[in-house]
């Protein structure tokens, strides 16, 4: 009887990039009715980074891509596909991913963007996993990159202080596993959406509607209520699909939106905060970039190690939400 082998999408490299300009909470006190204490107590955010004038989402993505390639020890020509998750592309088209592809010299890779707002990186990981499992790609680079500073209403203290710019990248490679929960790579995914709640988190502009970029609008209390419930649910579902439970988790690497959402989700999963990678204090909410940023920082800090079981979950405008279970 021959052993069964399955194709797994295994992480072989990670990298991230933050713009040079670091903005402390104190910078907002001159123009908004707010304070460092108010911002930290409600969000956990202490600082965030903003892209410089002329520094676009593609530029951030390219930096993160190069860092991931260096860590993986491969060349850009070895990539079969590049997927960029972003809600803040440089242009309406072409895709940011094609700009990354050209700049890093990944001439053999097909490239495209995915848009699921803060859940974008989870959706992109699931898509990359499907490409690898189906044999359509051997190596896929997945990038989350955002310049949310370009769509903020700087008079709205409920949103202006929450978001930042940045990029993170993972490289996934097809490797054989035995089909067990001990395999490295993506073990399960869970994706969800409910457009009935689109009005609680959206941007009030667009190509077809206003021909403007618009500004972000959010009903904070409603988003908070949905976030904790849906993030815990999708994490549980993804774990169940993988045949695992919360006791098996080494790290939760959640979307870094708000420390209270992160803490609430951990409580619902009956996990201590010591098992959660938290970067929101230094980066703010970087939307689709927040999970790959946190993963890369976790690796750089020596927290995430080969063989660790990781659950990542995110929710964003749409509403769109989901989770991925992977063994590093």
SS3 content of the chain, % helix, strand, coil (to 5): 40, 25, 35
285 is catalytic: yes
| Count of alpha carbons within 13 angstroms of residue 237, beta-carbon side | 14
Cβ contact 25:40 at 8 Å = yes
The active-site residue, picked from 16, 25, 63, 118, is 118
Instruction: State residue 317 phi and psi, 5-degree precision.
Output: -55, 145
Q: What H or E segment, with its residue span, contains residue 124? A: helix 120-133
Contact 217, 45 (CB under 8 A): no
The C-alpha atoms of residue 16 and residue 40 are separated, in whole angstroms, by 24
CA pair distance 91, 113, nearest whole angstrom: 12
Q: What are phi and psi of 51, to 5 degrees?
A: -65, 145
Q: How many residues does the chain have?
A: 328
Tokens of 205: 């502009």
Asked if residue 252 lies in contact with residue 269, where contact means CB atoms within 8 angstroms, the answer is yes
Annotated catalytic residue within 25, 129, 258, 285: 285
From the list 139, 164, 147, 9, the residue with the least C-alpha distance to 68 is 139
DSSP secondary structure letter of residue 51: P
d(CA 77, CA 108): 6
Which of 16, 63, 255, 283 is labelled catalytic?
Answer: 255
Exposure string of 214-244, with b = 16+ CB inside 10 Å and e = fewer, is ebbbbeeeebbebbbebbbbbbbbbbeebeb
Strands 309-316 and 216-218, by their bridges, are: unpaired
Backbone angles phi, psi at 80, to 5 degrees: -95, -25
Catalytic residue set: 118, 255, 285
């Amino acid at each position: 009887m021959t052993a069964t082998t399955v194709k797994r999408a295994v992480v072989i490299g990670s990298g991230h990039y933050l713009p040079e300009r670091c903005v402390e909470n104190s910078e907002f006190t001159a123009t908004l009715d707010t304070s460092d204490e108010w911002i930290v107590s409600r969000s956990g955010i202490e600082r965030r980074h903003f892209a410089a004038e002329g520094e676009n989402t593609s530029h951030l993505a390219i930096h993160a891509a190069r860092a991931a390639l260096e860590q993986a020890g491969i060349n850009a020509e070895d990539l079969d596909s590049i997927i960029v998750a972003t809600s803040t592309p440089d242009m309406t088209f072409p895709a940011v991913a094609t700009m990354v592809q050209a700049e890093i010299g990944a001439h053999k890779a097909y490239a495209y963007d995915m848009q699921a707002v803060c859940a974008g990186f989870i959706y992109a990981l699931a898509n990359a996993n499907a490409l690898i499992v189906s044999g359509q790609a051997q190596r896929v680079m997945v990038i989350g990159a955002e310049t949310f500073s370009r769509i903020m209403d700087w008079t709205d203290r409920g949103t202006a202080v929450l978001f930042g710019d940045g990029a993170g990248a993972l490289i996934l490679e097809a490797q054989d596993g035995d089909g067990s929960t001990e395999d490295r790579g993506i073990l399960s995914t869970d994706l969800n959406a409910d457009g009935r709640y689109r009005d609680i988190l959206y941007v009030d502009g667009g190509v077809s509607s206003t021909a403007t970029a618009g500004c972000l609008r959010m009903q904070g209390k409603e988003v908070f209520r949905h976030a904790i419930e849906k993030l815990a649910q999708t994490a549980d579902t993804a774990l169940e699909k993988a045949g695992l439970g919360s006791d098996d988790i080494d790290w939760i690497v959640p979307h870094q939106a708000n420390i209270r959402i992160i803490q609430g989700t951990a409580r619902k999963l009956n996990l201590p905060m010591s098992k959660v990678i938290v970067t929101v204090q230094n980066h703010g909410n970087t939307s689709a970039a927040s999970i790959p940023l946190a993963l890369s920082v976790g690796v750089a800090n020596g927290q995430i190690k080969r063989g660790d079981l990781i659950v990542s979950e995110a929710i964003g405008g749409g509403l769109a939400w989901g989770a991925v279970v992977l063994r590093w």
